[in-house]
């Protein structure tokens, strides 16, 4: 009745209940075991079935180049939004922060609906209207009941195409943005990762902060914002994405009604072209001995979003893993670096990360440590990288593959993250990569592939390092650089 894998799963599951069952009556014990066996069996076969049975993501281009993409999950709610290829990477030093400023202005009223009327429209639907800006993407989206999809698309089209940009509202939001910049300065992890981008991509647009400097927030004018919209909000760079209880044909019809007028032409053929962003091995330090903990990030140049190396690097990151002192597990944690962090009190937390962009990426580790353990934590972080290049085992990679699969599935919990996934994928790849394809690509990663790919990106490469706080013990850059070679031996 059951295959070998299912039988082993059931034995493992039932063994864990042995002690507890002995304290129960035979009938209750039998019911408990039967239920648990059934659950284990269903779980062991449902993952693959769920991947193959996932709803199709349909993509339809309009005549002006705007793409409409949706996934019908049959929910009573849905999320619909507009994803745009625009962000801080498309900004200059003069207007850095314009995209983030526009995000604040988006909900301050349109030419048809003043702010109060817009808020009433959203409130009456019981909807949630939001936006975000990143280095390469901007998104405006709304979560609402499926029956209100037409109204949601109409409001989104107004927000994106007819933002009022009232001078009084601009001045009011200028103060809000400046306060937000002050708050972000207190988030040392964000500060550290922004500094990492600034030094790794120095002299290029990827070094820009998403929020921009305070000088930009003080000096941006209405015309700067209008010019930004006219330069970047073009139909071929937009995706209208939706997930939940949505009909794709209905969404295409709504897009034609509300977005067919979005321009696809540039004045004087001034098409913005992204210049290559070179990676520079370097460091930036902000020493402040008055802070209790140091934030340190080290990274090498990683793979772009569309690179075939992206999946092996994702598996490698999963092998390194993450840790926080609030976790349980101690010396029994699966990640070797996490076990060392516990046993030797190396840090308060660490996180392996890979930030991928259209033509480059940052493969790195960020950690938070007290001043007496920075040197040791840096040593063992780089040692973890070298292990990926030389001694990673099949059990390590199997654990990494499983952790990565769980992470990818867990991130798509709800219509909003699914919609975000659709929008970003269509912008990055021209299509939505289904989970079944991710699963197959992850399963194809072997220890040999991890070693080869990690050697390509990590071994003997110049890292970028950013550090904030009491960092007197942070090793000299040349010592960290040489470690990328010598730790291999």
Hey, which CATH number is domain 57-263, 1.10.10.10, 3.40.50.970, 3.30.830.10, 3.40.630.40?
3.30.830.10
pLDDT at position 9:
38
> What is the token pair recorded at 398?
């199997």
pLDDT for residue 326 is more than 90: no
Task: Find the length of the chain.
Answer: 489
Alpha carbon separation from 250 to 108, 142, 242, 421 (Å, rounded): 28, 17, 11, 21
pLDDT for residue 391 is more than 90: yes
Of 303, 300, 137, the C-alpha closest to 210 is 137
pLDDT at position 36:
42
On whether the CB atoms of residues 41 and 6 are closer than 8 A, the answer is yes
On whether the CB atoms of residues 202 and 282 are closer than 8 A, the answer is yes
* 378-404 core/surface letters (b: 16 or more CB in 10 A; e: else): bbbbbebbbbbbeebeeebbebbbebb
> What is the token pair recorded at 110?
């349109």
User: Which sequence positions are flagged as catalytic?
Assistant: 103
pLDDT at position 268:
64
> What is the token pair recorded at 250?
């209905």
Of 62, 461, 127, the C-alpha closest to 258 is 62
On average, the pLDDT of the chain sits at: 88
Q: Is the dihedral of CA 227, 230, 236, 242 positive or negative?
A: positive
pLDDT at position 31:
38
Res. 255 pLDDT band, cuts 50 70 90: very high
Q: What is the mean pLDDT of residues 178-185?
A: 93
Q: How big is the chain by its Cα radius of gyration, in Å?
A: 25
Q: What is the mean pLDDT of residues 319-331?
A: 86
pLDDT at position 17:
37
Hey, which CATH number is domain 283-486, 3.30.465.10, 3.40.50.1980, 3.30.830.10, 3.40.50.300?
3.30.830.10
């Amino acid at each position: 009745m059951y295959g070998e894998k299912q039988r082993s799963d059931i034995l493992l599951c039932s063994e864990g209940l042995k002690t507890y069952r002995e304290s129960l009556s035979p009938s209750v014990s039998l019911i408990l075991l039967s239920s648990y066996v059934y659950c284990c069996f269903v779980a062991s076969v449902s993952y693959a079935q769920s991947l193959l049975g996932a709803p199709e993501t349909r993509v339809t281009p309009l005549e002006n180049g705007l793409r409409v993409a949706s996934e019908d999950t049959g929910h009573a709610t849905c999320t619909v939004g507009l994803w745009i290829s625009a962000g801080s990477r498309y900004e200059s030093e003069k207007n850095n922060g314009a995209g983030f400023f526009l995000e604040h202005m988006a909900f301050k009223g349109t030419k048809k609906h003043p702010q109060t009327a817009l808020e009433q429209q959203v409130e009456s639907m019981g909807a949630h209207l939001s936006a975000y800006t990143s280095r390469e993407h901007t998104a405006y989206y709304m979560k609402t009941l499926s029956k209100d999809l037409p109204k949601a698309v109409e409001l989104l089209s107004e927000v994106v195409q007819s933002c009022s940009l009232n001078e009084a509202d601009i001045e009011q939001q200028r103060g809000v943005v400046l306060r937000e910049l002050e708050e972000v300065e207190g988030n040392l992890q964000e500060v550290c990762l922004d500094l990492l981008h600034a030094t790794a991509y120095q002299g290029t647009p990827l070094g820009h902060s998403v929020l921009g400097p305070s000088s930009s927030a003080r000096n941006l004018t209405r015309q700067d914002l209008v010019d930004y919209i006219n330069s970047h909000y073009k139909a071929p760079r937009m995706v209208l994405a939706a997930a939940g209880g949505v009909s794709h044909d209905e969404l295409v019809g709504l897009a034609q009604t509300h977005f067919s007028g979005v321009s696809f032409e540039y004045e004087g053929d001034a098409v913005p072209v992204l210049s290559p962003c070179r990676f520079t091995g370097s460091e930036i330090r902000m020493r402040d001995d008055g802070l209790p903990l140091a934030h340190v990030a080290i990274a090498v140049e990683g793979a772009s979003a569309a690179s075939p190396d992206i999946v092996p690097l994702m598996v490698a990151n999963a092998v390194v893993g993450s840790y926080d002192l609030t976790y349980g597990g101690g010396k029994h944690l699966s990640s070797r670096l996490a076990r060392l962090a516990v046993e030797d009190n190396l840090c308060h937390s660490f996180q392996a990360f890979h930030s991928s962009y259209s033509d480059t990426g940052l493969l790195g580790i960020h950690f938070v440590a007290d001043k007496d353990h920075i040197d040791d934590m840096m040593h063992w972080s780089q040692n973890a990288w070298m292990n990926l290049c030389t001694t990673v085992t099949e059990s390590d990679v199997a654990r990494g593959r499983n952790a990565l699969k769980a992470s990818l599935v867990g991130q798509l919990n709800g219509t909003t993250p699914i919609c975000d996934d659709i929008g970003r994928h269509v912008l990055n790849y021209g299509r939505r990569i289904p989970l079944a394809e991710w699963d197959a690509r992850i399963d194809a990663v072997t220890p040999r592939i991890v070693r080869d790919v990690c050697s390509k990106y990590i071994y003997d490469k110049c890292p970028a390092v950013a550090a904030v706080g009491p960092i007197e013990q942070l090793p000299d850059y040349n010592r960290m650089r040489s470690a990328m070679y010598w730790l291999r031996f």
